[in-house]
Amino acid sequence: MNCFNHVTTPAVAICKNCNKGLCPDCLTEIKNGIACTATCIDEVKSINGLIERNKNLSNRAVSTYNRMVFIYGSMGLLFIYAAYIYPELNLYMYPAGGLFLLIGILTFIANKKRYKSNN
């Protein structure tokens, strides 16, 4: 393939946005890619921005889930600890603690799956 602008010059790269062949004089190197005109540079930059934002969003979701696992887990342990200290509350504390631990474990598993699908 030859350069889109200079038909006799062999292309060394391809614009990430419009897929035109580009010679060293015509290409602009930007983050994560090569673009030709100013329009294409903006286009590629906004695509990169979108990808970046998506990544950040899913990472934030994962860390929110991690925090939930931690909260549920410590609530569960707290209830079980309370049941241990106050045996007369056993009847309420053990099921409640178990429930929180269960929710924590389920959230943890869901989070694992989510994390895997992101990578």
36 part of the interface to Zn ion, by CB under 5 A: yes
Amino acid at 39: T
Name the minimum Å distance from CB 36 to Zn ion.
Answer: 4
Name the minimum Å distance from CB 12 to Zn ion.
Answer: 9
Site for Zn ion in 56-95 (CB under 5 A): none
26 part of the interface to Zn ion, by CB under 5 A: yes
Q: What's the CA gap between 39 and 42, in Å, rounded?
A: 5
Rg over CA atoms, the chain: 27
Complex with Zn ion: residue 17 or 107, whichever CB lies closer: 17
Complex with Zn ion: residue 34 or 96, whichever CB lies closer: 34
Q: Which residues contact 89 (CB under 8 A, 6 or more apart)?
A: 82, 83
User: Which range touches Zn ion (CB under 5 A), out of 17-25, 60-68, 79-87, 90-98?
Assistant: 17-25
15 part of the interface to Zn ion, by CB under 5 A: yes
45 part of the interface to Zn ion, by CB under 5 A: no
Q: Chain-centre distance of CA 62, in angstroms? A: 8
Near Zn ion by CB under 5 A: residue from 2, 8, 14, 23 = 23
